[in-house]
Amino acid sequence: MNVQLLTPERRDTDLNELPFFDTTTVYGLAPFDERTLAFFDTFSKKLLADRSVNRLPEIAALAFWIRRANLLQIQKENSHLFGQAHFSLSPLGRVFHVCPANVDTMFIYSLAVSVLMGNKNLLRISARMEAPQITFLFDTLNELLGLAEFALFRDYIHIITYPHNDAISTAISGRCNARVIWGGDSTIAAFRDFKPAPRTRDIVFADRVSLLCIDCNAFNELDAKGRENFARLFFNDAYTFDQKGCSSPQSVFLLGDEAAYETCVTEMVSLLSGAIAGRYDTDIASIASLKLNRMVDDTLDRTIDHKWGDNYVTFAALRTQDATEAALPHSCGGGYFYTRRLDSVDGLLPFVDNKLQTVSYFGLDDTALDALVSLSRGEGIDRIVPLGHALDFNYIWDGYNLLEALSRKIYLER
C-alpha cells in the first residue's frame, strides 16, 4: 500500500514501513517533555523569522501558540492533570489525524497537542492542499526534522497523502489508538465505515454553526475609532474563511429595544460595507449571484422577511414565527448574515442545539455572559468568546479538552 510521504521528508513509501507502526520502540517522550517544548519553541522561532509570515496571520497565530511560554501556561491551566498522587499522564500511543481539505491550519494544533502529550502521529491530508501557507509550514517542519537534535521527532510526526482509498484508511484505522477526524459530518460518516480497533478512541469534529451576539447600545455608543476596530474584528471572524469556518458567525443577534436595534443594524451594515469593500478579495460577482439566489430562496421558503446592506455585507432578518423555530439556518457564506432582534440573550434559547459551536459576543456584561453559560448547559454552545476571537484555537475545543482526549491516566497505588 503506497502512500506519498510529505513529512519528515517528501518521498513515496510503503505504508507499513513508516516508523509510526513500529510497536517495538518505546515512547520516549513524556507529556510536556522538555525536548518537545524545545522542538516547538524552535519551530515557532523559525516560522516567525520568515518574512512571509506577515502576510499569513493564521501561521503567525500558530507560531505564537506553540511558543514554550504559551505551552507552559497551558500546562499550568491544567494543573489538575499533572503532579497528582494517584495517577500519572501517559500518551495514548498512535494517533491518526484525518485533516480537512479546505485551507485551514486547525489540524496542526491538534497535531501539536498530540505530540505534546507524547503520541506518535500520522496525518492524512488531501492532495489538493497546496496553499502556500501549508507548503511553507511543511517545508519548515521538514527542515527542523532534518536536524540531528530533533531526529527523535521523525518517529512522532508523519504527514502523508493518498487518494481516497478504503483499504489504506481501513488499515490505518485498525492499527491506531485514536483517530482525530476533522472535515465535518461527511468525513466522520465515511470513517465510521473504516472499523477501528475496539479500544480506539475517536475524537470527531462535526459540522457546526456559530453566531455573534451584539448589544445594540454598546455598538451605538462606539466612537469612530471604536467602530473602525469593531469592523476589523468582525472582518477577521466572519470573512477570513468566507463564513465557512465552523466558528465563523453565520447569524448576528442584536440585543436591545426597537429603537436601539434600528440604529444599530443600519449603522453597522453601512460601517461594515465600507470597511469590507477595501479588504475583501473574493470575486464579488460570484458572491453577488450566490447571495441574490439565497435571498430569493430564503424569501420563498419564508425564512427571511427583510434585508439590509449590499453584496459585501448582507443582513437578512429572520422571519418571526409563532410556532417553534426551525434550527439556526446555514448561511451561504460570503457575508450573508441572518439577523434577529432579541430583548436578552435568553431569546437565543430556540436556536441552541448541538450544532451550535461558538457564540462570539460584543458589549455583553457579566450578567449576559452568565446567562449564555446557563444556555450552554445541555447540548449546545461549546465556546463563548469576544468578537475577534472566533477563529482562535484553544485546546478546549468542541467540548473536548484535547490534552485529556489525547492522553491516558495511569492509576498508581504505592
Partner 1 sequence: MLNDLLNTIQYSLTRDEKNRELLPLLLERHQWHLGSCAAYRDIYNTVFEGSIRQPATLADLPFLPVSAFKNHELKSIPDSEVFKVLTSSGTTGDAVSRIFLNKETAQLQSLALSKIITHVLGKARLPMLIIDSKAVFANKQSYSARGAGILGLSVFGKDHTYVLDDNFEFDEQVLASFLERYDGQPFFIFGFTFMVWLYLFNAKTGKRYDLSKAILIHSGGWKKMTDMAVDNSVFRASLKDRFGLDQIYNFYGMIEQIGSVFLENSDGYLHCPNFADVIIRNPADFSVQPHGVPGLVQVISVLPQSYPGHSLLTEDIGVIMGEDDASNGWKGKYFKVTGRAKKAELRGCSDTFKSR
**Residues of this chain that bind partner 1 (CB under 8 A):** 277, 283-290, 292-293, 295-297, 299-300, 304-307, 310-312
Closest contact distance (angstroms) between CB of 283 and partner 1 is 5
Closest contact distance (angstroms) between CB of 292 and partner 1 is 5
Closest contact distance (angstroms) between CB of 303 and partner 1 is 10
Choice between 286 and 344, CB closer to partner 1:
286
Contact yes or no for 365/339 (Cβ under 8 A): no
Choice between 58 and 242, CB closer to partner 1:
242
| 11 bridge partner residues | 5
Number of CB atoms found within 10 A of residue 28's CB: 11
| 306 bridge partner residues | 317
- Cell triple for residue 320? 418571526
Closest contact distance (angstroms) between CB of 279 and partner 1 is 13
Choice between 54 and 293, CB closer to partner 1:
293
Choice between 141 and 252, CB closer to partner 1:
252
Can you spell out the DSSP letters for 173-215? HTT-SEEEE-SHHHHHHHHHTSPPPTTPEEEE----EEEEEEE
**Residue in this structure with the C-alpha cell 512522532, named with its chain if needed:** 156
Closest contact distance (angstroms) between CB of 35 and partner 1 is 46
CA distance 194 to 26: 27
Choice between 102 and 142, CB closer to partner 1:
102
Closest contact distance (angstroms) between CB of 227 and partner 1 is 20
Residue 171 — φ and ψ, nearest 5°?
Answer: -60, -45
CA distance 177 to 122: 11
Pairing type for strands 249-255 and 304-309 reads unpaired
Contact yes or no for 24/9 (Cβ under 8 A): no
Choice between 120 and 294, CB closer to partner 1:
294
Contact yes or no for 117/407 (Cβ under 8 A): yes
Choice between 186 and 289, CB closer to partner 1:
289
Closest contact distance (angstroms) between CB of 344 and partner 1 is 27
| 315 bridge partner residues | 308, 337
